[in-house]
Amino acid sequence: MTVTKQKNLYKEEKNRDQLVNNNKEKNFIDFVINVRRVVKVTKGGKRFAFSAFVVSGDGQGKVGFALGKSREVSLAIAKATSRARKDMVFFPLRGATVPYAVVGTHGACKVLVRPASKGTGNIAGGAVRAIMRALGVHDVLTKAFGSSNGQNVAKATLNALAKLRSAVHMAKMRDMKVKQMIKGEDNV
């Protein structure tokens, strides 16, 4: 193989690597919901471990959450973050808010998510606020009922968001066009 061919192959590999790296380096928004210290008592003493609950999103409608466990806090957070980024799910939005009001449940927790007018802000607390910010929702009204456990609240919130459908999807389910569905025209 000549030197010029080697240089060209090297350039092609370098360009391919740059394209792959550019695709991997997306702007993610990460929030650590909670970190717990777990103690295992053994004959030789106490063993400490940590579990971290992390929410990750791209700010454009995709969000995921995960639990990471390790003997060190930083490793637990890193594990949870990488898992959350792998398990992200897309949810339909209407501008900077949700399309319509939904209620989600998980265990003893119930979360109400309602759309809000522009400029209202993110009226949410704890895990719900983190999920909405990671999702890219700027105007929303939420209320969590029942359990205040961060993991259950996050799962109930994602349950509520999973019930959302886009206008295109709803029209397709009804065998209509979006304009017909919105204006209420007959399908004659």
Identify residue 185 by its one-letter amino acid code: E
Tell me, what's the pLDDT at 135? 93
CB distance 145 to 111 below 8 Å: yes
Identify residue 40 by its one-letter amino acid code: K
Domain 92-169 has CATH 3.40.640.10: no
Instruction: List the single range of 6-20, 91-105, 110-124, 125-139 with lowest mean pLDDT.
Output: 6-20
Distance CA 181, CA 188 (A): 13
Tell me, what's the pLDDT at 177? 84
| pLDDT exceeds 50 at position 19 | no
Tell me, what's the pLDDT at 17? 45
| pLDDT exceeds 70 at position 64 | yes
The structural domains of the chain, with segments of one domain joined by +, span 1-90, 92-169
| pLDDT exceeds 70 at position 185 | no
Tell me, what's the pLDDT at 161? 93
Distance CA 149, CA 7 (A): 58
Tell me, what's the pLDDT at 183? 75
Tell me, what's the pLDDT at 179? 81
Residues 159-173 have pLDDT tens digits of 999 998 887 887 888
Q: Please give the average per-residue pLDDT across 29-58, as a whole number.
A: 94
| pLDDT exceeds 50 at position 157 | yes
Which of 121, 135, 131, 138 shows the shortest CA–CA distance to 157? 131
Q: Which residue has the higher pLDDT, 21 or 151?
A: 151
Distance CA 98, CA 121 (A): 13
Average pLDDT of the chain to the nearest whole number: 85
Percent of the chain with pLDDT over 70: 84
Instruction: Enter the tokens of residue 112.
Output: 């109400």
Strand partners, 176: none
CATH number of 1-90: 3.30.160.20
Q: What pLDDT band is residue 188 in, cutting at 50, 70 and 90?
A: very low
Tell me, what's the pLDDT at 10? 53
Q: Which residue has the higher pLDDT, 18 or 29?
A: 29
